[in-house]
Structure 1
Amino acid sequence: MDLTATTQHLASAAADLVRLVPGKLIDPVLSGVLLTADAHGVVLGANDRERTARVSRGALVHTEGRVLVPAKPLAETLRALTQPQVRLVVEGSRLAIRADGARFALPLLDVDLHPGAPESAVGGSTVSGSQFAAALATVATTASRDEALPIFTGVRLRSEGDRLVLRATDRYRMAIASVPWSADTEIDLMVPAALLAEVGKQVAHIDRVTLQATENHLALAWSDTVVTTAVLDGSFLSETKLALSDADTHIEADADTLTAATRRVALYSDPRGVVQLEAGDTELRLRATDHQAGEAEEPVKATITGGRTSPSFQSRYLLDALRPFAGTRVRLAIQPGMRATVLTAVDPGEVDLRYILMPMLPPKV
């Protein structure tokens, strides 16, 4: 194999691939990147037997070929190069990376042991890349990171008419977002949140993303990238198991103002980071107290209707809940007692988002 390519394009492809499929450190073959060069350019592929990725880039191919090399060293080397062009050429048992007099060489792994990379997805349902990314920025980060509870580490993707609904929870909070989509079939799958979080970052400026589902796998395709992943069992994940219709207090406030006040007051919270929201007539008063840190309170102008429920929340979860509503007004529907509070946008856009937050016991005075 022998090819010349634009360094920046090849480096971005390798970096995207490594983030989509980090690889199995215990198996060098599954931690490798499969490079396939032909008349159409070069394809970088990865497969760890649970997820796969394939990224294509244009290249001037002098000699067609197929090799397997360690993925991360290739990505890091390409990222570090400042020369505009780079040449990849097989030299004996190594792949040489040449750029204006510099030479780096990676060992060739056994390409015949690699399971291969996915072909491009054909057909499937489509969603706006920017809207999908906006939904995933909130929903995917709400899933649990505790691998001991894998059923909470995914995002449930479910088609509901002309909307694709995304749901995730870590048992203390839940985020639900829906986006318009063009569906050719119904889907209902639980997809690892870590992968979708990275997909969201890569498709933020992409026009369309294609989703193609089977019983045990989901394929996502955009531009020159195709990703597949095994799915989890997520049929249990639904907000219908939560009582969300008994709110007795409704609060509307500027999300940025409320976020800033929460950060300041949380500096004086107890070790759990608990902040109390006390609803008044025309303002929402945030309070926090700790025997060592002291105490703080700050009012935020708000439109308040209904009762005077005063829930307490862990500040970091409240800040996470407010983050997707930045730059807008947010509505809090507060239920009495230790029941969930629902945050929504006062004027929702194409991405319809609901964030369900469980309260904490108030701090002991």
Structure 2
Amino acid sequence: MEFRIARGEFAEAVAWAARALPGRTPVPVLGGLLLTAQAGRLTVSGSDFETAARAGADAEVTAAGRVLVLGRRLLDICRVLPEGPVSCALEGTRFTVEADGTRFGMSTLPREEYPASPKAPAGYGAVDAAAFATAVGQVAVAAGRDDTLPVLTGIQLRLEGDEMTLSASDRYRYAVRRLEWKPQGGQGGAVEVLLPARRLLETARSLARCGTLRLGLDPAAGAGGGVAGFEGAGRRVVLRRLEGRLPGYGSLFELTGAAVAEAESGALTEAVRRVAVVAEANSPVRLEFAGDRVLVRAGFGEDVAQQRVPAALRGAGEVTVAFNGAYLLDALASYEQGRLRMEILGAGQRVLLTDGASDPAHQHLLMSVKQLV
């Protein structure tokens, strides 16, 4: 095996594939990156059973072949390589990396012990990469972090017609975002896929600039079966699907008789961010709506902060509601600048945030805190 490649392209391909490497593993081969050189192309692959990442780059291949090397060691080497072309070769059981007089030698790992990466599913459709990354970021804040409840750590994708719906919930909040996408070929009814939120967020952000993001999926796989693939700009990630599905949110988002408040998203977000600095870990941030203002308050005793923000309230004379500060800030920050609408049932009850449109594409449900003092 022997090839020559531009330093930047080599470093980018290695960094991309290294995203799938496990943090710690007792099995050395699982920390490896598989390099495949053939016909003017270098492919770098990494996997940790739940995720598989692959990146390709043009290369001048003198001798085709494959080699498995320690991924993080190769990543460190790529970071310090001098500028210019990089020459790599497999010499027996030693892999060498050389650039501008600097030469590194690496021992290789037994390739026959490396587990096969999950096969990427067939293409199912495409979506604007930037819009998808934004949508994933808006719902990921509501996903759970408790690995003992794996279903709640995922983001659910529902594909029906030309609409994609993303949703996530940790039982205390529920975020939903709809966006357009382009299905491929004649497809049947709705398909739902539950994917790890953290991995999906990393994937979406890293592919946000690729223009069009292609989604691969096997619709015949049952809940929790198979994988989902995301590919764009010569890079691909395959994520293993989680078992189960999120609970429905239809009735939760129906807040009959709720008071309706509206405020400018950016101003309210900054006010909450400011006053929350005096709030203890479990103390709430209060929103007191009255007249044409909302008073944002946090803290107890002498350690308090408050700020008034313009707001409009309909359906009630005054309304006071309180939230976990971190949850409220996550929800507010997920909205872009513009008018924010809040439907409020009352203290200790549900509050629905939307972008103010008659048919909102982004909805975020929060449970308010019962105790306001």
TM-score by length of 2: 0.90
Give the Cα separation in 2 of the matches to 1:263 and 1:300. Answer: 13
C-alpha change, 1:296 and 1:132, in structure 2 (3 Å) is same
Partner of 2:206: 202
Asked if the contact 1:284/1:299 (under 8 Å) is kept, the reply is yes
Once the two structures are superposed, what CA deviation does each residue of 1:132-154 show, in whole Å capped at 9, x if it has no partner?
Answer: 10011122232112212211111
From 285, 295, 314, the equivalent of 2:295 is: 285
Partner of 1:299: 308
Partner of 1:53: 53
Give the Cα separation in 2 of the matches to 1:122 and 1:134. Answer: 25
C-alpha change, 1:323 and 1:82, in structure 2 (3 Å) is farther
Higher mean C-alpha displacement, 145-154 vs 275-284: 145-154
C-alpha change, 1:206 and 1:65, in structure 2 (3 Å) is same
Partner of 2:230: 220
Aligned-residue CA RMSD in angstroms? 2.1
Higher mean C-alpha displacement, 129-138 vs 223-232: 223-232
Asked if residue 28 in structure 1 is aligned to residue 28 in structure 2, the reply is yes
* 1:96 to partner: Cα distance: 1.0
Once the two structures are superposed, what CA deviation does each residue of 1:1-39 show, in whole Å capped at 9, x if it has no partner?
Answer: 111111111111211222244365222112211100001
* 1:246 to partner: Cα distance: 2.1
User: SS of the counterpart of 1:135?
Assistant: helix
From 339, 358, 361, the equivalent of 2:367 is: 358
From 211, 215, 224, the equivalent of 1:211 is: 215
Give the Cα separation in 1 of the matches to 2:328 and 2:27. Answer: 41
- Structure 1: unaligned runs, 5 residues or longer: none
Once the two structures are superposed, what CA deviation does each residue of 1:312-364 show, in whole Å capped at 9, x if it has no partner?
Answer: 01111111111122322211111224222111113599x92111111123343
From 331, 335, 346, the equivalent of 1:325 is: 335
Asked if the contact 1:54/1:227 (under 8 Å) is kept, the reply is yes
Asked if the contact 1:24/1:30 (under 8 Å) is kept, the reply is no
Partner of 1:159: 159
Partner of 1:193: 197
Asked if the contact 1:23/1:48 (under 8 Å) is kept, the reply is no
Give the Cα separation in 1 of the matches to 2:87 and 2:149. Answer: 45
Higher mean C-alpha displacement, 227-236 vs 310-319: 227-236
User: SS of the counterpart of 2:334?
Assistant: helix
Asked if the contact 1:309/1:335 (under 8 Å) is kept, the reply is no
- AA aligned to 2:103 is R
Give the Cα separation in 2 of the matches to 1:10 and 1:289. Answer: 52
* 1:174 to partner: Cα distance: 1.5
- AA aligned to 1:359 is S
Asked if the contact 1:20/1:199 (under 8 Å) is kept, the reply is no
Give the Cα separation in 2 of the matches to 1:40 and 1:124. Answer: 29
- Structure 2: unaligned runs, 5 residues or longer: none
Give the Cα separation in 2 of the matches to 1:335 and 1:252. Answer: 14
Asked if the contact 2:120/2:228 (under 8 Å) is kept, the reply is no
* 1:120 to partner: Cα distance: 6.1
Give the Cα separation in 1 of the matches to 2:51 and 2:230. Answer: 11
Count the aligned residue pairs. Answer: 362
Asked if the contact 1:127/1:208 (under 8 Å) is kept, the reply is yes
- The within-5 A match list for 1:237-252 is 237-240=247-250, 242-246=252-256, 248-252=258-262
Asked if the contact 2:41/2:57 (under 8 Å) is kept, the reply is yes
* 1:230 to partner: Cα distance: 1.8
From 240, 250, 267, the equivalent of 1:230 is: 240
Once the two structures are superposed, what CA deviation does each residue of 1:113-169 show, in whole Å capped at 9, x if it has no partner?
Answer: 222345665432111101110011122232112212211111111113321101111
Asked if residue 3 in structure 1 is aligned to residue 3 in structure 2, the reply is yes
Give the Cα separation in 1 of the matches to 2:203 and 2:351. Answer: 29
Asked if residue 63 in structure 1 is aligned to residue 58 in structure 2, the reply is no
Asked if the contact 2:19/2:53 (under 8 Å) is kept, the reply is no
Give the Cα separation in 1 of the matches to 2:243 and 2:117. Answer: 24
- AA aligned to 1:199 is T
Partner of 1:176: 176
- The within-5 A match list for 1:103-182 is 103-117=103-117, 122-182=122-182
Higher mean C-alpha displacement, 139-148 vs 36-45: 139-148
Higher mean C-alpha displacement, 17-26 vs 48-57: 17-26
Percent identity (aligned): 31
Partner of 2:344: 334
Give the Cα separation in 1 of the matches to 2:269 and 2:161. Answer: 34
* 1:226 to partner: Cα distance: 2.1
